[in-house]
Structure 1
Amino acid sequence: MSYSSVFVKLLTLQCLVILCVSQSFDFFYFVQQWPGSICDTKRSCCYPKAGKPAANFSIHGLWPNYNNRSWPSFCNRESLFDHSKLSDLSRMQTTWPSLICPSGNNSKFWKHEWDKHGTCSEFVLDQHQYFEETLNIKDRVDLLQILQNEGIQPDGRNYSIGSIEEALRRGIGFAPGIKCNKDASGNGQLHEIYLCVEKTGSKLIECPVLPRRNCAQHVEFPAF
């Protein structure tokens, strides 16, 4: 075997090792967002061309993460997003809408989620599986109903962050991570809820680490 052949093989092996390392991760964050908190900001929002989404938590994404709070991203720029592979997942339009301006058909949002996060889980989930498993988790976890069962409503009132966390922990069986943003007047409001999922994307788990909370003791749950 020539020196050049050995060099090429070693280089190929090195590239494969680098790719695997870049795509390894410890768990997923499954993130849902409250549309009223996206729209009730100085930045405001735009509804997708399909119309105003339902007044319910919607999917932000399924994000590979490490146990040290860091995460991989954009792991394979050669793995192009293909909308046609999702033709049987029509419920994405209602459960995974984009509220970013200008309005669109949601595809740009999904492409971003695949490019940045999905490609880092590609060695366990292909593109269709990545989106389907995310939708399946959403189907099993009705955050709004869980909160409403505990008297926490999207009615513009303030609720203690502790009561929100405890209601979700009781309803789901696992402690959630919570992120807040600010409304147009600068008041804190419930924005995103993080749950953790094991690496195959199918089972909720207790979070190895929770995202750092950026919420005050009491936050608004705005109407939508």
Structure 2
Amino acid sequence: MKFLETIVARVLGIALSFNIVGNMSCNAAGHYDFFKFVQESPFAFRKYGNGNNRCNILPLPRIFTIHGLWPSNFTNRHEPCVGAQFSRVVMNEASNDDLRADLELSWRSFISGQSNMDFWEYEYNTHGKCSDHKFSQTQYFDRARSLWKQYKAHTLFSNRSLEPGKSYRLTDLEQAIRSFIGGRRPLLLCKKSEEEKKQYLLEVVICFDDRAINPVNCPRRKECDPRSPVWYML
């Protein structure tokens, strides 16, 4: 009987240890391989994005704006992470006045009833806090701002003579981005209009290493139809 009790205790101990390790791996903050820096076309988002919640901001900014900076992994699994929640107190500190002013331009909400601050809070609590063991909240948003200034999609396209209001081959749009990120593979997302029988460029994703510094190849995904022209609108 004593022997049986010992065996049961050991089995329970092993099971408990696996449960603890499993919980630690699920809840550990910051298990990610790279960042996705996501920019969106306000025109395409307002026309086709997010159902009835699109707002009627006019005139729309004729630039790509930030959708988010997302810690990601190559398995495409979304693992829950533990991190500090977004702090409006921190964002409103006087030392962040310049940062907020830049984000009001570069990271805007186009959803009815959602302020820019609401958008930043949502993105940080959904994605940004997963990297808070490497970046503070302020550092995270500052990094996103720096990436936008360096890799504005509309500027990269313009520098390769690709102008809004026209359609292009998907490969031409991809190559325009590649030429500024060391040949690394970006990810372009399109929204198809069944009425117009067209596809519009909705988002441009550039991937970076786990410090959000050096461009890396984005995972291969087919989000645009390479057989059809892609309309680039702002």
Query: TM-score interval w.r.t. the shorter chain?
Result: 0.7 to 0.9
Counterpart selection for 2:149 from 135, 139, 143: 139
Relative to structure 1, the CA distance from residue 214 to residue 128 in structure 2 (aligned partners, 3 Å threshold; closer, same or farther) is same
Counterpart selection for 2:200 from 162, 166, 189: 189
Larger fraction in helix: 2
Question: Residues of 1 paired with 2:38 and 2:214: CA distance?
Answer: 12
**C-alpha displacement at 1:56, in angstroms?**
0.6
Q: Does 1:76 align with 2:82?
A: yes
% of aligned pairs identical?
25
Counterpart selection for 2:69 from 49, 57, 62: 62
Partner of 1:123: 133
Q: Does 1:85 align with 2:90?
A: yes
Partner of 1:36: 43
Q: Does 1:168 align with 2:177?
A: yes
SS at match of 2:36: strand
Letter matched to residue 64 of structure 1: P
CA contact (8 A) 2:191 2:201 kept: yes
Counterpart selection for 1:221 from 203, 209, 232: 232
Letter matched to residue 127 of structure 2: H
Partner of 1:7: none
Runs (5+) with no aligned partner, structure 1: 1-9
Residues 96-150 of structure 1: CA distance to partner in whole angstroms, max 9, x if unpaired? 0011123x42111111111110121111112111111111111111221221222
Counterpart selection for 1:179 from 189, 194, 201: 189
- Which structure has the larger Rg over C-alpha atoms? 2
Greater shift, 123-132 or 183-192, is seen at 183-192
Counterpart selection for 2:55 from 26, 36, 46: 46
**C-alpha displacement at 1:162, in angstroms?**
0.5
Question: Residues of 2 paired with 1:194 and 1:166: CA distance?
Answer: 13
CA contact (8 A) 2:190 2:199 kept: yes
Letter matched to residue 33 of structure 2: D
Relative to structure 1, the CA distance from residue 21 to residue 100 in structure 2 (aligned partners, 3 Å threshold; closer, same or farther) is same
SS at match of 1:109: helix
Letter matched to residue 182 of structure 1: K
TM-score by length of 2: 0.77
**C-alpha displacement at 1:17, in angstroms?**
3.6
Letter matched to residue 179 of structure 1: L
CA contact (8 A) 1:159 1:220 kept: yes
Counterpart selection for 1:114 from 104, 124, 140: 124
SS at match of 2:119: helix
Question: Residues of 2 paired with 1:132 and 1:184: CA distance?
Answer: 39
The number of equivalent residue pairs is 205
Q: Does 1:212 align with 2:195?
A: no
Letter matched to residue 120 of structure 1: C
- RMSD, aligned α-carbons: 2.7
CA contact (8 A) 1:33 1:193 kept: yes
TM-score by length of 1: 0.80
Residues 9-62 of structure 1: CA distance to partner in whole angstroms, max 9, x if unpaired? x9xx869944663531111111111111111228473156xx755211110111
Relative to structure 1, the CA distance from residue 213 to residue 167 in structure 2 (aligned partners, 3 Å threshold; closer, same or farther) is same
